[in-house]
Amino acid sequence: MNPSLVNPDVPVYNPRNYLNEPATGLRSWLLTLDHKRIGVMFLIATTISLFLGGVFALLIRIELLTPGPTIMDAMTYNRMFTLHGVVMIFLFMIPAIPSGFGNFVLPIMLGARDVAFPRLNLLSFYLYLLGAAVALYGMIHGGADTGWTFYAPYSTTTITKVVPILLGAFILGFSSILTGLNFIVTTHTMRAPGMTWMRVPLFIWSIYATSIIQILATPVLGMSLLLVSVEHAFGWGIFDPARGGDPVLFQHFFWFYSHPAVYIMVLPAMAVISEVVCTFSRKNMFGYKAVAYSSLGIAFVGFFTWGHHLFTSGQSAVDAGIFGVLSMLVGIFTAIKVFNWTATLYKGSISFKTPFAYFAGFIFFLVFGGMTGVALATVSLDVHWQDTYFVVAHFHFIMVGATMMAFLAALHYWFPKITGRMLPEGWGLVGAVMVILGFNFTFIPQFLLGNMGMPRRYYAYPAKFWPLNVASTAGATVLALGLVVVLVYTLISLKWGPVAGSNPWHSRGFEWGTPSPPPVENWETTPVIDRGPHEYDEGATVPPTVSPEPEPTHAS
Amino acid sequence: MPAETTYLAHHFASLEKQTYAARLGMWLFLATEVLLFTALFAGYGVYRFLFREAFAESSRHLQTWIGLVNTLILVTSSFTVAMGVDRAGKGDGKGAWRFFLVSFLFGAAFMVFKAIEYTHHFHVGELPGRFYTNEEVQLVGAPIFMALYFLITGLHGIHVLVGMTVLLVIGLRARAGAYAAEYSVPVELAGLYWHLVDLIWIFVFPLIYLV
Amino acid sequence: MNELMRRLLFLPEQASDYARDVDHLHFFIITTTMLAATGVFATAIFFFLRWRRRSDSDVTPRIEPTPIHEALFIGTPLVLFLIWFAIGYPQYVRLQLPPKDAMDVFVQGKKWMWKFAYPGGPNSVDTLRVPVGRPVRLLITSRDVIHSFFVPALRLKMDAVPGRYTQSWFTANKPGRYEIFCAEYCGMGHSAMLGELVVLPAAEFDTWLADQRRGDKAVAQDSASTGETVLAAGNLVADGERVAAEQGCLKCHSVDGSRHIGPTWVDLYLRQEKLADGRIIVADEAYLTRSMMDPAADIVAGFQNVMPTYQGKLTPPEVAAIVEYIKSLKTSAVRSGPSAGPVYEPKPRQP
Amino acid sequence: MAEPLSHRPEHGAHASHVPRYLAVWIALLVFTFGTWGISRFHLPGVAGVAVALAIAIAKGALVALFFMHLYDQPGPNRLVFATSLVFVALLISLTLLDYATRFPLTNPPGSQGAIPASDYAPAPNDTTR
């Protein structure tokens, strides 16, 4: 079946697909080496994590509904926000888009049959499960009360079960390293014939940049978490002020990973958005090179900015200046992307489907999240905002706002490819509106709370912070309901959604050239790429051509 | 083409691609290893800057000769591994095995010296953090030096053990004729890993024992 | 204008010139952000309305940016961000360089209270008194974990790192009372680690400080002659209440019967307490005194050993006063048995 | 599907590697003894560290370039390794810079560069310490 001969107007459910071949049993899934199945398993696991983290978030918001104790005691509350952070960051945010959607889409986009190291890919999934299990063990046996940042010396002296959680995060780090390693090698060695670097889809550019960060930063996090564990378990004194150790050194190590980790979370979001904006405006990306290189720029410069988390830690003013100025540069790269995405709409053919709605939300959150981020990097304002709800709102704008929007956009965008079925458009828009509005109502009050000076991680608070906290909790409820709506219609559509066909969005992205759901080997014959990935002008051919005789040479 | 059919995984277009992918993957992995150690080296740098005297004094109390001998051992084992990889590249599996066995024994010798050294530390109380009981050096920072010492050499020791296992397994497979002149990438990658272990020690030696 | 923007953004009062300057940067940033964001969104909405999709096979022109576009996309935000930084960073540096003539105050955070010590002796818990119009340098440290000294009204925040000093400074320009928060998460009592900054007119402050110093000296002289300090005349219960508040006891022990970090003091006297090691004792005078001197000796089941020793910090009369105060806290309802609550297993901290 | 293996130049030149390995090995041994010998003079201040690190870098370069064949690897592999070294330098240098330039009292007591804490310590009868 030659995909270029399929009439896109007559949706066909591909009968021979990865879901039913080579077998359908549980065993065939658990031992699969197929990147598509691994991607789907990652999606299921991360979605479960998302809802677990969401429950923690709701409990936190309910506790903060009144100034005093509401439904739990301080210790439980401290555990809640720690678990919320750990689950959302390590179990959902970091793996969701790269390991889930990336795993599924990246090799198909490249015209490859699989990722370069399928076994490592499966190992990555099992490491994820193992890390999750170890962390879960820690949560059940008391959980940690350190906050996800594990600052020494609190984390090294707490009586709670912080070590299993640290080890869980450590193992999850290796899962993330393996995924990154796989993607880099795959992108380098397995591109289809004719796919030069300047014809690589922008999704892959961003995922590639993400992978670089995963490879270079995660080991440092692993080491610092290990050091905290050693310190907590044996008292070796590396961060112990009583023995001359410096707790601030931990903060250096931690943020050397964890600031770039923010880009591990947001770059894949940008990856998805680049695809969505081109498809739904039927336009070539305005400034493909700028968008592609700015991904690499973010990955690179993202490493130079970790010190902006330490402006009030006793860090030297010289370092603060260097880190402050370098942090501005990351803002520039993000600004380039925002401008280019907006400019892409110019003279396009814009269709306001659900993924595009999430794109709109994404741009809104990214602009405000990004600008407040740069404002935080102006050093003197950070002194006021550091560790207040302003920071909380800022990073939720980026991580939940931008990344969640992109995750939902990706879900709606690739759901037809993954399952061969469509999601309901009307309910999709209802869900999108609820999520976006609920999100704004949750976090805009938190910006104001931060301005007022309410510190984060407060179990109880003075009464003057009350009204805004109530508003925030109300918003969180709407947000949660919106997510439940999305979950419900997604589950229903798995079985009863209308058949999508190979290319329901009439996209010219390469992944749409293969039938939906894709066959086990992705492509019947190796596609030959003769154009860029986002081209909608007269001269460009409809989804990637499969020339009768594949050229023998691969691009390298 | 036998090499193509024997060694080529289904999802690669050619053996050359596969080799390239394996090498790139290994280099990326080595990069993560380097950064894993970097956190410890950065900690070493910071505390050395803060506690210059304590570090110099503690370092003087280490047995430099063990460090020196271990450096010579690792450097030489690296050489024999390189020779083994060279043999494998010429299709001589038995030769590769012999060189790898020698390197394995060098690795074992390294660990023996390490054990002697650790025993000594336990006897004189040069132990990390709150276990530090050495009377001779009573400076702020000395326990931190010992903590870093054990972390760096311990982590490196684990890497030596892993490397020895890898050498043994790959060496045995090479002896059994699992690789050929056209395809000896696993041997090469095992060698790369061992060289990295050597490379890290080359930096550990002067930093911990000499300055 | 300043006042309007401040209220719009929910910012607290500005108690120093520095706070006002930082707020001006804030206003500038928020204005430019809003303008830029509105620009982007208006453009996007205009494009969306103007170029709706007509058919699924629409063909669009291929538009590539010219170098001028990219220069604009990079240059505009870069200039803007650098202007922000150029205003913000010098302010931060200013905060790092206290003037030479600043009065030093030592600030110590510990779980979960703030202690302030003035040169020449006097100190206080949770209340920092400073003169208006004179620079004050804070040397901040911590006794246990990292805390962060945060005065929203001064737009000032500095971490208290155990075992070393960080510094910050301010010149308050308005007499008044302002909140002090702990901004770095420090455990169960994090949100209760509140304090108050009291800015006094300079003359009033000088009088207060002199009084404090004289009081200290008097106490010191008394103890030198008699070997024991005496409390000023007054009823013991009231003294006990005052001392308990000053020493921060009430941070952890409630006097309304609610469970907090430590056991409540209400009905504590002669209560049977179940200890963590299983013993059951009666909270008599001896027990109460011992618990102040050596808190780790008898830990009530369900509580952590977080209390520092008050050996040497409380004079015998003060101890007696606190005991009397505890004795006075009686309710008519009779309650026995240990205070309820979740059990946290204690972890011995190695010396 | 299958395509002819195009041998890289390095495959053909395999035979010449052994002398190269030998030379590198001997150089490594010489360097090892050299750095040990120099260390016995206890060079003052940073000079000792600088010399030892310079020798270590030279040795490391030999191992990486010749034993690990970075010398004849394609660009990406070299780039990977070089990039990782950039980030090594980054983490170490910017962290150290902080300790070298911060408010001296913020460094741990008893450390170099920190002003002795007693100079700044509160008055003796201050109970906060």
Question: What CATH number should be reported for the domain holding residue C254?
Answer: 1.10.760.10
What pLDDT does B124 receive? 84
Rounded Cα distance between A415 and A490, Å, is 9
Number of C-beta neighbours around residue A301 at 10 A:
20
Give yes or no for residue D120 having a pLDDT over 50: no
Mean pLDDT of chain C: 81
One domain for residues C92 and C107: no
pLDDT at residue number C210: 87
Work out how many domains chain C is built from and give that number.
Answer: 3
C42-46, C176-180, D38-42: segment of lowest average pLDDT: D38-42
Tens of pLDDT, residue by residue over D77-100, are 888 888 889 999 999 999 999 988
Q: What are phi and psi of D48, to 5 degrees?
A: -60, -45
Residue C219 lies in a domain: no
Cα gap A405→D110, rounded to integer Å: 51
pLDDT in tens, A306-340: 999 999 998 889 999 999 999 998 889 999 999 99
Supply the pLDDT for residue C342. 31
Contact B127, B146 (CB under 8 A): yes
Dump pLDDT digits (tens) for A144-185.
Answer: 888 898 998 888 888 888 899 999 999 999 999 999 999 999
Within a domain: C348 = no
C89 and C109 housed in the same domain: no
Question: Distance between CA A95 and CA A98 in Å, rounded?
Answer: 6
pLDDT tops 50 at residue D1 = no
Within B24-101, strands assigned E span none
CB contact under 8 A, D108 and B50: yes
Find chain B residues with C-beta within 8 A of D68's C-beta.
191-192, 195-196, 199
Q: Look at the block and give the residue holding tokens 């006042």.
A: C3
- pLDDT, residue B128, reads 81
User: C45 with C84, same domain?
Assistant: yes
How do the domains of chain D map onto residue ranges?
19-72, 74-106
Interface size between C and D, measured as CB pairs under 8 A: 49
pLDDT tens-digit readout, A101-116: 999 999 999 999 899 9
C56, C73, C344: residue with CB nearest A75: C344
Q: What is the mean pLDDT of residues C170-182?
A: 93
Instruction: Check pLDDT > 90 for residue A38.
Output: yes
Distance CA(C161)–CA(C139), nearest Å, equals: 11
- Enumerate the residues of chain D whose CB falls inside 8 A of the CB of residue B15: 5
Please give the Cα distance from C326 to C330 (Å, whole number). Answer: 8
**Is the model's pLDDT at C228 over the cut of 60?**
no
The pLDDT of B113-138, averaged and rounded, is 84
Look at A115-119, A142-146, B194-198 and tell me which has the smallest mean pLDDT: A142-146
Segment C111-135 mean pLDDT: 87
Q: How far, CA to CA in Å, does A301 sit from each of A110, A191, A323, A383, A461?
A: 27, 27, 10, 23, 38
What are the residues whose beta carbons fall under 8 Å from the beta carbon of C151, sequence distance 6 or more?
C15, C157, C170, C178, C179, C180, C181, C197
- Determine the pLDDT at residue A2: 45
C-beta atoms of B31 and A216 within 8 A: yes
* Chain A residues with CB-CB distance to B147 below 8 A: 236-238
pLDDT digits (tens, 9 = 90+) for A209-228: 999 999 999 999 999 999 99
C348 in contact with D, Cβ within 8 Å: no
Residues B81, D24 contacting (CB under 8 angstroms)? no
Our CA-based measurement puts residue A238 at a distance from the nearest CA of chain B, in whole angstroms, of 6
Arithmetic mean of pLDDT, C165-187 = 92
Q: Tell me if B174 sits within 8 A of B100, measured CB to CB.
A: yes
Which pLDDT band holds residue C332 (cuts at 50, 70, 90)? Answer: very low
* pTM value surpassing 0.95: no
Whether the CB of B173 is below 8 Å from some CB of chain D: the reply is: no
Q: Is the pLDDT of residue A276 over 50?
A: yes
For range D4-23, the mean pLDDT? 59
Taking only the tens place, the pLDDT of each residue in A436-471 is 999 999 999 999 999 999 999 999 999 999 999 999
Q: What is the pLDDT of residue A384?
A: 94
Which residue among D1, D83, D88 places its CB closest to the CB of B38? D88
By C-alpha distance, the chain C residue nearest A362 is C41
Looking at chain B, which residue has its C-alpha nearest residue A188? B21
For residue D122, what pLDDT is reported? Answer: 38
CATH architecture of B12-210: Up-down Bundle (1.20)
Kindly list the residues from chain A whose CB atom is less than 8 angstroms away from the CB atom of residue C182: 455
Nearest to C12 among A287, A345, A453 (CB): A453
Touching check for A520 and chain B: CB below 8 Å? no
User: Of chain A residues 73-92, which have a CB less than 8 A from chain B?
Assistant: none
**Nearby residues of D124 by Cβ (< 8 Å), 6 or more positions away:** none
Does residue D11 surpass a pLDDT of 60?
Answer: no
C206 and C236 within one domain = no
**Distance (Å) from the C-alpha of residue B140 to the closest C-alpha of chain A?**
6
Kind and range of the H or E run holding D92: helix D75-101
* pLDDT at D116 > cutoff 70: no
C-alpha distance across the termini of chain B, in Å: 56
pLDDT at D128 over 50: no
Confidence of residue D10 (pLDDT cuts 50, 70, 90): very low
Torsions phi, psi for A412 (to 5 deg): -70, -30
Identify the band that residue A78 occupies on the pLDDT scale cut at 50, 70 and 90: very high
Lowest average pLDDT, out of A81-95, A378-392, C221-235, goes to C221-235
Name the minimum distance, in Å, from the CA of B190 to any CA of chain D.
11
Are A193 and A529 in contact by the 8 Å Cβ rule? The answer is yes
For the record, the structure tokens of B203 come out as: 């930096």
- Asked if C175 and C199 touch (Cβ cutoff 8 Å), the reply is yes
Contacts of D5 (CB under 8 A, 6+ apart): B1, B3, B4, B14, B15, B16, B182
| Least confident span in A342-346, A537-541, C91-95, C343-347 | C343-347
CB A166 within 8 A of CB A229: yes
Domains, in order of start, for chain A: 32-513 (1.20.210.10)
Residue B2's pLDDT band (boundaries 50, 70, 90)? Answer: low
Domain that holds residue C167: 103-214
- Separation in Å, CA of C62 to nearest CA in chain A: 6
Confidence at C247, pLDDT banded by 50, 70, 90: confident
Return the pLDDT at A552.
41
Best of B24, B75, B103, B196 to disrupt the D interface (most D CBs within 10 Å) is B75
Site from B199, B207, B209 to mutate, D interface, most D CB atoms within 10 angstroms: B199
pLDDT at C340: 31
pLDDT, average across residues C70-82: 92
When mean pLDDT is compared across A58-67, A256-265, A313-322, B130-139, the lowest value belongs to B130-139
Highest mean pLDDT among B184-188, C285-289, D121-125: B184-188
Is B21 within 8 Å of A185 when comparing Cβ atoms?
Answer: yes
Calculate how close chain B gets to D63, using CA atoms only, in Å.
7
Given D108, D109, D128, which is nearest C117 (Cβ)? D128
A235/chain B closest Cα distance in angstroms: 6
Mean pLDDT of C8-25: 93
* Contact partners, residue C58, CB within 8 Å, separation at least 6: A282, A349, A536
What residue spans define the domains of chain B?
12-210
Mean of all residue pLDDT scores within chain A: 89
